[in-house]
Structure 1
Amino acid sequence: MKKSVLFFSLISILCFSQQKNVLVSNLRPKSENFIFPLISLASKPSVEKKINTFLQVNELEFIPDSGKDPFHLASTATNTYRNFVYFYGWKKLETPNNILSLEMEGEASGAYSEHFVNYKNFDLRTGNLINLKDLFEPEAISEIQILVNKQIAKEITDYTDDLKANGNSEEDKEVIRMYQECLEYVKDGSLEYVEFFFGQDKITVVRGRCSNHAMRALDDLDDYFVELPFSRIEKYWSDYAKSLLSKNKKVTRQNTIENKLYKGTIDGKYPVTLFIKQLYDDGSFSAFYWYNKNKKLIEWSGNLKNNHISIIENDYHSEELKKWIPRAYIEADVIGKKISGTWQDYKTKKYLKLELEEL
């Protein structure tokens, strides 16, 4: 662990020179178990604030400036997923000019400890997270999925063919079974379950390993890294991707609510901030919102269909009824950068106006 911390700390210092305007330091208080990136972008304070808010809410469930210790929930397993989560280091990757790509290494501990490396990519013009699907025309996403899945399937097949030819132990047979089962899922794998990061002239798609925790020691292939050179996939670029990778200052908007931050009001007088997390292929998503005055995260569980959002805000879990009791129902429409609708109190049935706009 200490070697990892030293390595990432060195990278943290060296990466200052990689992009003149973007500085990445460590969120305080830094410790051996918490080395977490803090972004500084003096020329664009709103972008800086948006990126830091995203990172801290998404990874730590901490709202910036809401307390002294941003790592409290992660270090005490009092977050929504009830796991201890530690961050041992970060690395700023070499990217095209308009992009910030971060690699973060850590460990999550529940029933057992699990090492992780995740990647986050930001548009430095807006501060928005870059979703992989934003980069491609809708009709081209299936083509990208095929490219990625074929390469992973080939890596698995080549490995198992070699193992079949040269290995005959019971352990080898168990490994072959594991990869063959995994292969069935890989062939139809969706981009919603992968991560990615930018290089100067390519995207690398990262798919999680085939093994569960118990089988990990036998999984020599581990995570899969599929490199997609820009020259190979540029014919599939969306207008947003073309804008992102060009020197043109004009920004083409990401046409999605996924991983976006919104500001607005409830009842016209209560300022709130909304963070919508990953949007899945079936339209489901989860979100956090908070009243700007008290800065406490409130969970939403919702669904998007035909630009209409339906959300449930739960109040508490009834042990007697063995179900969640709602606090409110939200119905709203997505119109461009705005979300407009109602927040209905579950008990009183009173409707309050909800107005939000993308940050």
Structure 2
Amino acid sequence: MRPAAAVNCVAIVLAGLLLAVGTGAAMAGPLQVQTLSYQGPGRNGIAVDAHPITMPFVRSPDPAVAARINDLLFIARHRALSPRRPGQTFGAADGIAVDGQLSEHFEVLRNDGRILSLVFEGEGCGAYCEDFRQAYAFDARTGLLFTAENVVTPAGWRQLDARMRRESIRLYRAQLATLAQELKQARQTASVGDISDTQERIAFNQACLQAREADTATAHAAPHRVPETDRYRFEFGPSAITFVAGRCSNHALRALDDVDSVRVSLPYAAAGAMLTPYARAVLAGRPATPPEAVFGQLLRGSLSAAGSADLAVTMLLNRLDDGSLAGTYFYGHIRQPIDLSGAPQGAGIRLTEDAGDTSRPRHMKPVFTLSRSADGLAGTWTGERTLGVRLHP
């Protein structure tokens, strides 16, 4: 190669690198994800050995990003802030108990410097024990959680809702056809037990099919209505995003629900038109400004009063299916969870501490009165005195 050509080649390469950096196309490396194992008593005080419980602990070149991810995951999974100085384990010393868990493990679905996607599976117990699967995905640059609102557009949710209903109807019709054949065979063999069981399954699947068909009729009657996105979950994989609709059955009838959850996977190219500009930018490795959101995101901030030192707080606040609000917050120097419940109130929200605590009347419990601010929530906390509040993702 001649010297002039070599110089031009180098210049082109350097220009390309500068363009990549300037447009955000240059990718950061994957985040470090360490596995921590739980040590301590489990359900009913029995040590967790046979059914291990593990949690991820994320490290990033930006400690604030790692802390945002770790605290959200530990609050969501175990109502506790993440360990300050993790070794190989976590447990009571970190303020964490797992009384409602029999087992829990996680898998990293995607970790490429753009998106960190994890899924948790295990068995949890409340009034009864049941398997679970729960996914979380984060913007690896900022540590912000992907939610229904910042991943899919309203028009995209209408398309997805229709597609999920069609898939659900297809699966239930196929299951009913299979059960009809099984019932025919059971009658030929005169198996009374098989006949009764299959008839129960047919009745259940028919009821689920009718419910999905009724949902479709309702959607057709209001084509511009945005569906309730809380009924769906999503998982970011290496090459596709998978949307999941919860099963038709409750716990008591789960044994009859052969269809179970409905899953539809879309390659990112096929899903692109449904995704928000923010989600598309993150997937492409471009800098992106997330939509303003407080529900489901980890919030940091402070309670303050004139002449007093600010009290650092961390909060996670979720909107429930019925529109009410529930959450947990922590004082940084105490690190003990304080439960919150409440509801939207006009243009703001009102949250009461420890609503389930019956030792004090509700009107005597501390209350947050908050409204949306430019970067999160602002307002007051009123207990024995009144303090100013500022919270932001």
| Pairwise same-fold verdict (TM > 0.5) | yes
How far off its partner does 1:164 sit?
Answer: 2.8
In structure 1, which of residues 329, 333, 336 is the aligned counterpart of residue 374 of structure 2? 336
1:51 to 69, 76, 88: 69
Question: Does structure 1 residue 273 correspond to structure 2 residue 313?
Answer: yes
1:353 aligns with 2:362: no
Structure-2 change in CA distance of 1:264 and 1:278 (3 Å) = closer
Whichever residue aligns with residue 332 of structure 2, its letter is N
CA 1:222–1:74 in 2, change beyond 3 Å: closer, same or farther?
Answer: farther
Cα deviation code 1:217-240 (max 9, x no counterpart): 333323222112333332222121
Q: 1:92 to 1:304 in 2, by over 3 A?
A: same
Which of residues 194, 197, 202 is equivalent to 1:171?
A: 197
Q: Does residue 232 in structure 1 map to residue 270 in structure 2?
A: yes
Cα offset, 1:308, TM superposition: 1.7
Contact 1:302 1:309 in 2 (8 A): yes
Q: Distance in 1 between matches of 2:312 and 2:209?
A: 45
Once the two structures are superposed, residues 159-184 of structure 1 have per-residue CA deviations (whole angstroms, 9 ceiling, x without a partner) of 11332354252212211222233335
Secondary structure of the equivalent of 1:255? coil
1:39-78 paired onto structure 2 within 5 Å: 39-65=57-83, 69=92, 74-75=97-98, 77=99
Aligned residues: 327
Residue in structure 2 matched with residue 252 of structure 1 by the alignment: 289
Identify the residue that residue 285 of structure 1 maps to in structure 2.
325
Please state which structure has a larger fraction of its residues in helix: 2
Q: Which amino acid aligns with 1:179?
A: N
Within-5 A mapping of 1:212-227:
212-227=250-265
User: Do the aligned partners of residues 296 and 344 (structure 1) sit closer, same or farther apart at CA in structure 2, a change above 3 Å counting?
Assistant: same
- Residue 316 of structure 1 and its aligned partner are, at CA, apart by 6.2
| C-alpha deviation, 1:74, in angstroms | 4.1
Percent identical among aligned pairs is: 24
Equivalent residue for 1:26? 35
Cα contact 1:309–1:331 (8 A) shared by 2: yes
Gaps of 5+ in 1: 1-18, 78-83
Alignment of 1:146-225 (within 5 A): 146-168=162-184, 169-186=195-212, 188=215, 190-225=228-263
**2:159 is the alignment partner of 1:122:** no
Within 5 Å, give how 1:318-329 maps onto structure 2. 318=358, 324=362, 326-329=364-367
Change (3 A) 1:304 1:101: same
Deviations along 1:28-76, one digit per CA (max 9) or x if unpaired, are 445643432323334222111111111111101122247952787543x
Instruction: Check whether the contact 2:341–2:355 (CA below 8 A) recurs between aligned residues.
Output: no
Any idea what SS the aligned residue of 1:93 has? strand
2:351 corresponding residue in structure 1? 311
Alpha-carbon distance, 1:338 to partner: 2.6
Q: Which runs of 5+ in 2 are unaligned?
A: 1-27, 40-47, 85-89, 185-194, 216-226
Residue 95 of structure 1: CA displacement?
5.9
Which of 37, 54, 65 is equivalent to 2:55? Answer: 37
What is the TM-score normalised by the length of structure 1? 0.80
1:242 counterpart (266, 271, 280): 280
- 1:90 lines up with 2:140 in the alignment: no
The answer to whether the 8 A contact 1:307-1:335 is kept is: no
Check 1:101–1:204 CA distance in 2 against 1; reply closer, same or farther (3 A cut).
Answer: same
CA contact (8 A) 1:135 1:238 kept: yes
SS in 2 for 1:167: helix
Going from structure 1 to structure 2, the CA distance change for 1:107 and 1:281 (only over 3 Å counts) comes to: closer
CA contact (8 A) 2:314 2:332 kept: no
Separation in 1, partners of 2:344, 2:95: 32
Query: What is the RMSD of the two structures over their aligned residues, measured on CA atoms?
Result: 2.9
Q: 1:142 to 1:46 in 2, by over 3 A?
A: same
Give the letter aligned to residue 179 of structure 2: L
Q: Which deviates the most, 214-223 or 191-200?
A: 214-223
- Larger RCO, structures 1/2 (Cα 8 Å, 6+ apart): 2
Whole-Å separation in 2 of the counterparts to 1:210 and 1:160: 15
Larger Rg: 2
- Structure-2-length-normalised TM-score: 0.74
Relative to structure 2, which stretch is displaced further, 33-42 or 63-72?
A: 63-72
Deviation readout 1:307-337 (Å, 9 max, x if unpaired): 5222222366447x9x745412222111232
